[in-house]
Structure 1
């Protein structure tokens, strides 16, 4: 069994946990077998960690572009509120088409444009907040404040 485990380790195609499952041993046993055979870097995940960091950076860049596009769309929706607006209708017994250009959209369309702009802005803000790390800073500040208040009230010693 040890030789089979070493063959899997040397092949480098399986994770330590996968090898352990397939051979019915613990992951620490697989690590020990690798270490005893001098395969100290057999399960090195440096490349995986680098790939993960690169993917995270790519995702941040995509979110930044998406946030920019959301702001552009919000501006377009707001601009449309002051533009001439074509209204139309199909109807009647002859199913005729009628249209008219108004100096600006009717109230219901203005509301829809404003809602669309507001949603785009809100989503932009969410993306910006996600990538700014502000959420983590706020949580750390809150936890620190709670800890200080607890120490103030109860001291820093455990109850007996």
Structure 2
């Protein structure tokens, strides 16, 4: 029994062309005004497949690798940020204020940051390190502990 609306050779050629362009079954069906089932059947006769699971898996793996690389880069940047913040604690610091009835400006330069500023800098540096370790955790606990130990020894030394 013949189909009521058989697929033409032109349509088969167009299916092959659109498939080669990477179009999916539903997009081809829509463009040709055919059902998805008809397109699948004709594609199979032409030796074409719409099974993209392997391609999707490969693309997903590439994307995950890209994201991992970006997280590692961000973790490195956060570590550098923490180091810069830590260094600020030991550099000359200008502390200023506005106040009084006349809203006057006062400032004073200290040889190093006052205790309150050091505490704020240390807290911010600690947050940066914490985020860095969450983004790119060390491969073993001993690596992380060694890094923290080295950082704390540097803190105790004052430079």
Answer whether TM exceeds 0.5 for this pair: yes
Could you say which residue in structure 2 is the equivalent of 1:150?
none
Deviation at residue 93 of structure 1 after TM alignment = 3.2
Residues 99-123 of structure 1, C-alpha deviations (whole Å, 9 max, x = no match): 1012332333222211211111111
Is 1:110 aligned with 2:121? no
What's the CA shift for 1:18?
A: 4.2
Quote the residue 2:145 is aligned against: none
Structure 2, unmatched stretches of 5+, are: 140-159
Q: Match of 2:92?
A: 84
Could you list the structure 1 runs, at least 4 aligned residues long, displaced by more than 6 angstroms after superposition. Answer: none
* 1:81, distance to aligned residue in structure 2 (A): 2.0
Residue from 43, 46, 61 that aligns with 1:34: 43
Number of equivalent positions: 129
What's the offset of the Cα at 1:86? 1.0
CA distance in 1, matches of 2:15, 2:103: 73
TM score, norm. by length of structure 2: 0.59
Contact 1:2–1:33 under 8 Å retained in 2: no
Aligned to 1:121: 129
- Please state how far the C-alpha of 1:69 moved relative to its aligned partner: 1.0
| CA shift in 2, pair 1:29/1:3, >3 Å | closer
Unaligned runs of 5+ in 1: 133-160
